[in-house]
Amino acid sequence: MKNENAITVSELTKTFGTFTAVNAISFEVKKGEIFGFLGANGAGKTTAMKMLIGILKPSSGQATVAGFDVHTESEAIKRNIGYMSQKFALYDDLTVRENITFFGGIYGLSRKRIQEKSKQLIEDLGLGAVGKSLVGSLPLGWKQKLAFSVAMLHDPQIVFLDEPTGGVDPITRRQFWEMIYKAAHAGTTLFVTTHYMDEAEYCNRVSIMVNGKIEALDTPKNLKQHFEAATMNDVFLKLARG
Ligand SMILES: Nc1ncnc2c1ncn2[C@@H]1O[C@H](COP(=O)(O)OP(=O)(O)OP(=O)(O)O)[C@@H](O)[C@H]1O
């Protein structure tokens, strides 16, 4: 049977000098799953994610992403994933269309495919009126929705979203999550970090990191039951406070 896991992680560890930022984490993410990756500031989420997307060498442990080994096949991983973060997404000084064309080119799409994708994407996001506007002039929420779509231009198997909705208003956040659901429904795997606990409730499963370790991993429903908490926020506080 074909492997149904999009991501498999075993004892993955990253040390910086004597400090262990990610401490032997193990988990699996199923294909088409929306997997929430939570933790307080400094818990090790970004370091773990950097190892998974092939830009940081693990100190020890194993992981495969989209079927490729993080130690030896990081280039293949990069071709098969999308990545979007709150901190870096699009070029503010390029227009909407120019950004799409630029990233389409980076992802190796043909000119024809870029044109098709660009048309479809601008239509889907209702950005027709601002196609020729600089991205820097758009509201943050629009930028983030556009960035998410651009991260999926090359139809990646897995998309990593690093705090994608930070600073975005609640209505746009909801629209953003509708996009996430749509992508998952179409078979894409979503790996999402967030500090918004209401968003944790939207994930199929959630892992919570504390000081480099995964201290809990389950569906939001099971986590709430296990920790006798009414909300994911309460689960998070119970864990983070030890
Ligand atoms: N290159 C590095 N050298 C030394 N220490 C590092 C390095 N990168 C990260 N760290 C440390 O590793 C720990 C985990 O950082 P990381 O950025 O992975 O946490 P995080 O969970 O993503 O936090 P945040 O939610 O604030 O982004 C922190 O204590 C950080 O200072």
* Domain containing residue 93: 32-59+73-240
pLDDT in tens, 82-115: 999 877 678 999 999 999 999 999 888 999 999 9
How many domains does the chain divide into?
1
In a domain, 115, yes or no: yes
Substitution candidate for ligand 1 out of 18, 22, 23, 45 with most atoms within 8 A of CB: 45
**Torsion region of 141: left, alpha or beta (phi above 0 gives left; psi -120 to 50 gives alpha):** alpha
Q: How far is the CA of 70 from the centre of ligand 1 (A)?
A: 19
In a domain, 66, yes or no: no
Say which DSSP state 134 is in: B
Domain of residue 220, CATH code? 3.40.50.300
Q: Name the token pair of 131.
A: 């196609």
ipTM: 0.95
Which residue matches tokens 């389409």?
104
pTM for the complete prediction? 0.93
CA distance linking residue 148 with residue 146, whole number of Å: 5
In a domain, 84, yes or no: yes
208 Cβ inside 6 Å of ligand 1 = no
Low-confidence ranges of the chain (pLDDT < 70): 1-3, 88, 242
pLDDT at 142: 87
In a domain, 146, yes or no: yes
